Structure 1
Amino acid sequence: MTDGKTESVGPRCAIIGFGNIAELGHLPALLELGVDVVAAVDICEERRKKAGNAGLEAFENLSSLDNLDLDFIDVCTPPSYRYLPIEYAARRGLDVVCEKPVATPGEHSALKKLMHDSSIFFYPIHNWKHAPQYVKAKEIVMENGGAENLTMNTLRTHYGTGNPDWNPNWRVDRSISGGGIIMDHGYHNIYLAMHLFGSDFTKAVLEEITYFKSNPEIEKRASFTLNFPGERRAKITLDWGAGRREIKNTIYECNHKLELSDKRIVNSNHTYEFDESLSGDSVHGAWFKNVFADFLRLRASKDKRHFQEAIRVLEGINSLYEQARS
């Protein structure tokens, strides 16, 4: 508990990395759910000022949290800065909720070992599973006996830029992001495919990859296939250089076809309309209340399946990058 605050009956947390997603998405949802967000840690002075303006104690270093009574940490840093806060939490016995991807390709093995040896609860922010469109799609797929095949297209005019206070172009700096559109949008598509099929994929097969001419370490377009048991497949296409922002999925079921786009699902003779577009913004703040409610509900279970899902996604991404290098 911090000075000047009354004691809270809710769990206490600190946010690590107070960028756009933390300020506009995580913090409002956590507060609405009664979580006592006591502090934020950020290496950027301007972001610490914004955290202070939001009523949080703001620190530059993780060690400043040592004397705070916490139940969990919320990791919102860019990918290459995530391992150390997670290691800190494991050492203190604090649960972790973490933005995706939970690690860079080079650190996922170390993170896997760290969590294997730890009893803390680790919950990755796989927030697109909580989007109303995908909640409804999953419901329809289950009612119709499951998905047989799937195509997923994510089109964007540009990569997402971060806040101007630190490094707005970190997504195209491989030392920070760990990769390009496969690490960013591809990560979402892989866990969504696993969610819609209700199973793990057996193999990831790279079909095509194109890099920025000015930045040959970062892929701007990619297409790949995920193979699932029972000869089921998900064909995924990603593009940071398209002329429009659009999400379009087609789910093939037994005697049915479901078309999912930004604000609509069409399934047989039924059409479902949604208020918020999947391509409306990059924060999707309205989804986070359900994400964190799920985390809070599951904390006591210490269930490892959520962490294992995140690691499996990274294993698929690692395989795609290895194929690109060969």
Structure 2
Amino acid sequence: MRGAIIGFGTIAMGHMGGYSRVEELEITAVLDISKERREYAENTYGLTAYSDFAKLVANEDLDFIDICTPPGSHAEYSALGLANGLHVLCEKPVFLPEQDGGYQKQMDLIRESDRVYYPCHVYKFAPVLASLKERIQNPAFGEVLGANFRTLRTGHAKGVPEWRMHWRREPETSRGGILRDHGPHSIYLAMNLTGCTPRSVSCLTGRMREGSAYRDTEDSALLRIRCDNDVEIAMTLSWAAGHRSTGYSVIGSGGSVVVDGDELTAGVGGEVVRTSIESGFDDPSHKEWFPGMLRDFLRTAVEPGCQAELIREALTTSIVIDAAYASAADEGRWVDCTVPEDLLPA
């Protein structure tokens, strides 16, 4: 299958690392508004580069597009891809409520298309988290009782120097701060790992780094998510930490499992097992995780019925974040985040 990457910045570099190792997929062109990034794509990768979507699809024989732009343009390019009969991969957040008719229009476009719409939820393909999920699914682990996720960073991820390096702190482009940027990873992982569905959320956000020039977006967020089966999941997200770390812990009726970076500790039935699984959490491009994700996209393209659960996951993720922002604006009150049934895929 032949594809084009939309937005050839830092995020796209991770994707390119994945495509280089999946022979069934080939990137032949890119679209970018930056002249410097187009030249980089041409000179470094030998790709044909465009600044206009209409010219891209008119001149290239494509099967799919991979949207790696900032969130503000995800809905626009998703609609263009589906309208032109292309499969669409889209970086998180896949859905945004206020764009182009909101969730309903976005879902209608997906339903009306016979192409696959694939959320790039790449954290699910981190080796240590795949192992964590296997252990949770072990019958001896029992029922999930609760979970705690931690994402600490010393600052926001930077974009390419040729185009607005700090777009993650510009709300018109990012549509939020750390809650919109790192929040999706934690929320879709919570659903994927535990099998639980969020029902309500309480959230507090703030700017913890004194003297920050970025006053319009939050750098820290604390969430509590109540799910079905009386499970509660706590999340800590911050760009204002003194060190970089990523951790996940899940408690079951028969044991527990903890991930701290590449280190996994599992205790089930009185036996504690510790193992190290190289996963590259300190590589912000996550290029080692993308081959697995892209192979999953290929599977979904062959069996398009598989996308329904992925769309549900992405839509739920966005609605939880919407509810979290509403909660934070009202002193952390509990806000319902149930997804309306008429929005969900069949």
TM-score, normalised with respect to structure 1 = 0.92
SS in 1 for 2:160: coil
- Trace 1:1-326 onto structure 2 (pairs within 5 A): 11-22=1-12, 24-34=13-23, 35-53=25-43, 54-67=45-58, 68-107=60-99, 108-109=102-103, 110-143=105-138, 144-206=141-203, 208-211=204-207, 214-268=213-267, 269-278=272-281, 280-302=282-304, 303-326=307-330
Name the residue aligned to 1:7: none
SS in 2 for 1:297: helix
Q: 1:216 to 1:113 in 2, by over 3 A?
A: farther
List per-residue Cα deviations over 1:42-80 (Å, max 9, x = no partner): 000111011112111000010112322211111111110
Asked if 1 retains the 8 angstrom alpha-carbon contact of 2:3 and 2:62, the reply is yes
**Runs of 5+ in structure 2 lacking a partner?**
331-346
TM-score, normalised with respect to structure 2 = 0.87
Asked if 2 retains the 8 angstrom alpha-carbon contact of 1:259 and 1:267, the reply is yes
SS in 1 for 2:218: strand
Asked if 1 retains the 8 angstrom alpha-carbon contact of 2:280 and 2:286, the reply is no
TM-fit CA distance, 1:289: 0.4
CA distance in 1, matches of 2:118, 2:283: 23
Amino acid at match of 1:89: G
Asked if 1 retains the 8 angstrom alpha-carbon contact of 2:142 and 2:254, the reply is no
C-alpha root-mean-square deviation of aligned residues, in Å? 1.5
CA distance in 1, matches of 2:196, 2:233: 12
Asked if 1 retains the 8 angstrom alpha-carbon contact of 2:128 and 2:279, the reply is no
TM-fit CA distance, 1:26: 1.1
Amino acid at match of 1:182: L
TM-fit CA distance, 1:138: 0.2
TM-fit CA distance, 1:29: 1.7
Amino acid at match of 2:106: L
TM-fit CA distance, 1:282: 1.0
Name the residue aligned to 1:3: none
Amino acid at match of 2:277: F
**Runs of 5+ in structure 1 lacking a partner?**
1-10
TM-fit CA distance, 1:240: 0.9
The worse-fitting range, judged by mean Cα deviation, of 81-90 and 27-36 is 27-36
Moved over 4 A (4+): none
TM-fit CA distance, 1:112: 2.7
Q: Percent identity?
A: 31
